[in-house]
């Protein structure tokens, strides 16, 4: 139950992040819809194309409904309401990161149960949508600059591979991931590698 | 008959628009070919990937021939001839928009006859090629900034869904779409939504 | 034997070129891995998507191992070592161009033996990875500006189509391609077409 609620929050957060990037890029309502859809479905589409899974599996009707309602609300909401998003944006975005990565890892686990594929799937589902969103907005993909971001999706993949797939365990993983992300941003954690 | 002529004009218009963006971006003749091919086939390729249709269905030999002849002519034509294009560009591009959207909608109708898929297919086929062209040229996709543009592709999808698939009806739809687009550009129509 | 050695050099060269673009773009180690993987596999993935071949055929375990070892070394190597790359970069990159194009042409030949497909496959495999790399780095794709580059991949396709597929013949083709490319860069060869 709690896992499903978290997943819905994650989908709304990713959709809204796409819409906001479109608004910042001065795109029309078409851009808002395209970037919203891209952010919420793009990662899963690329993942399925790469692992030869049918793309039609991505178009799940409940998810579609959530995305379309979110986008329609955002298009008609006054702009100043939208700006309130930013205060909560990072927190909600972290929930999206965790739930998307876990959902990607789960779908890979049911299909193959191969560690490499689970990690790849977790990473693509968690980060891919945002990367395509940034490219469509004419920006350098943020996901390629951040570090902690991507490591967290791999942790989600690892947890799934170890069999933590009960909804309560998934909820716990989301909680940990969000906490680590918020600390990482607050204290500006970085890995120090030679090429830097 | 008239529908086929319009479709050929549409293919030439889209191919030429890709080639012109390549010339403006100072790309080599390779860039001209890649952007010309991308603009004319990119939308259909992405559409087929997303709806799990085989991509090879896109490579229709008559269309290929039209695209290659257009591109070869453009590469060898003196540049000042190419500039004459701009006067007629918007008119021809509108024909392309309508015929590509209708053709996308038709191929979805034959495969599924599901309204959502027809609209999606019309929009992707009409706008997708131009979006990939703009990304390859390092620009923000124009299709995400315009509004009327995208709404017209949805109208094409709607007409197809309602069964207006006789060549004479298709020709009529193209005529209406081109007229609306020219008025929209001339009078600078915009939708006024709160987020603006 | 010599052909396999050349192919390995080519894979390392392409992977390293992706990693270097990531370092120049100030991306994190995630960006280095993503751009390294993209440069070495991206062309083959796009090619397989376009010709309806299964993408999973791309993930060949030996190639994967070479790519991952290269990227891990690059991430941990001191930056000044990396800069030595630049002296040898163009030479190694030319080997990559030739081996990737030949390998793409060979895989198309085994599947279809159709000249058009072989040329397309050679060009996509040779240039596609670099184009996706440049887009992910927020640059205009270099491959669309160069000319000799793309013509050489077509020559590779042509040689394969004519049946020069013995390892010794492949090695000879690589040798010729690299020589032509080095001369082309040194003497700044250009095609003179009207649109320029």
For residues A102 and C86, the model is more confident at A102
* Closest alpha carbon to A102 in A46, A18, A168, A182: A168
Average pLDDT, chain C: 86
* Closest alpha carbon to C125 in C147, C109, C101: C101
Q: What is the band of C194 on the pLDDT scale with cuts at 50, 70, 90?
A: low
For residues A105 and A121, the answer to whether their CB atoms sit within 8 Å is: yes
- Is residue C6's pLDDT more than 80? yes
Residue length of chain C: 196
Suggest the residue from C122, C138, C141 to mutate for an interface test with chain B (most B CBs closer than 10 A). Answer: C141
In our burial notation (b when 16+ CB lie closer than 10 A, e otherwise), range A136-162 reads bbeebbebbebbbbbbbbbbbbbbbbe
Of all residues in chain A, the percent with pLDDT exceeding 90 is 33
For residues B157 and B145, the model is more confident at B157
- Is residue A87's pLDDT more than 70? no
At residue A153, the pLDDT reads 92
> Per residue in B75-113, pLDDT tens?
887 766 666 666 677 888 889 999 999 999 998 888 777
Q: What is the band of A145 on the pLDDT scale with cuts at 50, 70, 90?
A: confident
> Per residue in A159-169, pLDDT tens?
999 988 888 89
Query: Is A91 in a helix, a strand, or coil?
Result: helix
* Closest alpha carbon to A142 in C25, C14, B144: C25
At residue A11, the pLDDT reads 93
Query: Is A113 in a helix, a strand, or coil?
Result: coil
Whether chain B has a CB inside 8 Å of the CB on A31: the answer is yes
Q: What is the band of A81 on the pLDDT scale with cuts at 50, 70, 90?
A: low
Say yes or no for a CB contact (<8 Å) between A146 and C30. Answer: yes
Chain B residues touching residue A31 (CB < 8 angstroms): 144-145
Average pLDDT, chain A: 86
At residue C126, the pLDDT reads 92
Whether chain B has a CB inside 8 Å of the CB on C140: the answer is yes
What stretches of chain A show up as alpha helix (H) in DSSP? 2-24, 29-50, 61-76, 79-111, 115-136, 148-161, 167-186
Secondary structure of chain B as H, E, C letters: CHHHHHHHHHHHHHHHHHHHHHHHCCCCHHHHHHHHHHHHHHHHHHHHHHCCCCHHHHCCHHHHHHHHHHHHHHHHCCHHHHHHHHHHHHHHHHHHHHHHHHHHHHHHHHHCCCHHHHHHHHHHHHHHHHHHHHHHCCCCCHHHCCCHHHHHHHHHHHHHHCCCCCHHHHHHHHHHHHHHHHHHHHCCCCCCCCCC
Average pLDDT (C99-126) is 88
Of all residues in chain C, the percent with pLDDT exceeding 90 is 33
> Å from C130 to nearest chain A CA?
16
Residue owning tokens 């959502």: B116
Secondary structure of A142-166 as H, E, C letters: HHHCCCHHHHHHHHHHHHHHCCCCC
At residue A111, the pLDDT reads 79
For residues B52 and A55, the answer to whether their CB atoms sit within 8 Å is: yes
Q: What is the band of C39 on the pLDDT scale with cuts at 50, 70, 90?
A: very high
CA C96, C97, C98, C103 dihedral sign is: positive
- Is residue B195's pLDDT more than 80? no
- What is the rounded CA–CA span in Å between residue B29 and residue B51? 33
Option in A143, A151, A195 nearest C75 (CB): A195
- Is residue A158's pLDDT more than 90? yes
For residues A7 and A99, the answer to whether their CB atoms sit within 8 Å is: yes
Cα dist from C7 to A13, B6, C45, C88, C170, whole Å: 44, 48, 18, 17, 10
> Å from B142 to nearest chain A CA?
9
At residue A63, the pLDDT reads 86
Whether chain A has a CB inside 8 Å of the CB on C55: the answer is yes
At residue A26, the pLDDT reads 87
Q: What DSSP assignment string belongs to C39-95?
A: HHHHHHHHHHHHTT--GGGG--HHHHHHHHHHHHHHHHS-HHHHHHHHHHHHHHHHH
At residue C58, the pLDDT reads 83
At residue C127, the pLDDT reads 92
At residue C192, the pLDDT reads 62
Cα-to-chain-centroid distance, residue A92: 10
Say yes or no for a CB contact (<8 Å) between B136 and C139. Answer: no
Q: Which of B32-36, B86-90, B134-138, B169-173 has the lowest mean pLDDT?
A: B86-90
Query: Is C193 in a helix, a strand, or coil?
Result: coil
Q: What is the band of B20 on the pLDDT scale with cuts at 50, 70, 90?
A: confident
Q: Which of A50-64, B156-170, C149-163 has the lowest mean pLDDT?
A: A50-64
Whether chain A has a CB inside 8 Å of the CB on C68: the answer is no
For residues B150 and B143, the answer to whether their CB atoms sit within 8 Å is: yes
Of all residues in chain B, the percent with pLDDT exceeding 90 is 33
- What is the rounded CA–CA span in Å between residue C132 and residue C118? 21
- Is residue C56's pLDDT more than 90? no
- What is the rounded CA–CA span in Å between residue B100 and residue B7? 8
> Per residue in C149-181, pLDDT tens?
889 999 999 999 998 888 889 999 999 999 998
- What is the rounded CA–CA span in Å between residue B162 and residue B152? 15
Angle at C154 between CA C151 and CA C160, to 5 degrees: 150
Q: What is the band of B116 on the pLDDT scale with cuts at 50, 70, 90?
A: confident
Whether chain A has a CB inside 8 Å of the CB on B54: the answer is no
At residue B97, the pLDDT reads 92
In this structure, the number of other CB atoms found within 10 A of the CB of residue C167 comes to 13
Whether chain B has a CB inside 8 Å of the CB on A71: the answer is no
Say yes or no for a CB contact (<8 Å) between A145 and C32. Answer: no
Option in A50, A140, A151 nearest C138 (CB): A140
* Closest alpha carbon to B7 in B171, B182, B183, B191: B171
> Å from B80 to nearest chain A CA?
31
Average pLDDT (B28-39) is 90
For residues C10 and C96, the answer to whether their CB atoms sit within 8 Å is: yes
- What is the rounded CA–CA span in Å between residue C38 and residue C130? 8
User: What is the rounded (10 degree) CA torsion for A34, A38, A39, A45?
Assistant: 170
Could you report the predicted ipTM of this complex, rounded to two decimals? 0.86
Average pLDDT (C110-138) is 88
Terminal Cα-to-Cα distance of chain A (whole angstroms) = 43
> Å from C133 to nearest chain A CA?
12
Say yes or no for a CB contact (<8 Å) between C76 and A194. Answer: yes
- What is the rounded CA–CA span in Å between residue B195 and residue B94? 28
- Is residue C196's pLDDT more than 60? no
> Å from C30 to nearest chain A CA?
6
At residue C110, the pLDDT reads 85
For residues B144 and A31, the answer to whether their CB atoms sit within 8 Å is: yes
Chains B & C: contacts with CB separation below 8 Å = 61
Say yes or no for a CB contact (<8 Å) between C195 and B55. Answer: no
């Amino acid at each position: 139950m709690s896992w499903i609620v978290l997943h819905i929050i994650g989908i709304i957060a990713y959709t809204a992040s796409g819409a906001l990037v479109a608004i910042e890029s001065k795109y029309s309502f078409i851009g808002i819809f395209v970037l919203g859809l891209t952010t919420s479905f793009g990662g899963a589409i690329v993942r399925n194309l790469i692992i030869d899974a049918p793309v039609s599996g991505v178009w799940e009707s409940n998810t579609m409904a959530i995305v379309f309602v979110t986008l329609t609300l955002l298009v008609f909401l006054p702009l100043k309401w939208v700006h309130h998003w930013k205060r909560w944006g990072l927190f909600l975005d972290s929930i999206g990161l965790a739930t998307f990565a876990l959902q990607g890892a789960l779908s890979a686990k049911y299909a193959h149960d191969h560690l490499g594929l689970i990690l790849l799937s977790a990473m693509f589902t968690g980060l891919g949508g945002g990367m395509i969103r940034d490219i469509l907005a004419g920006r350098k993909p943020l996901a390629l600059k951040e570090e902690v971001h991507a490591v967290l999706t791999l942790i989600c993949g690892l947890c799934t591979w170890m069999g933590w797939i009960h909804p309560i365990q998934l909820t716990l993983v989301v909680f940990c991931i969000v906490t680590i992300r918020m600390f990482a941003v607050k204290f500006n954690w970085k890995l120090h590698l030679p090429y830097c």
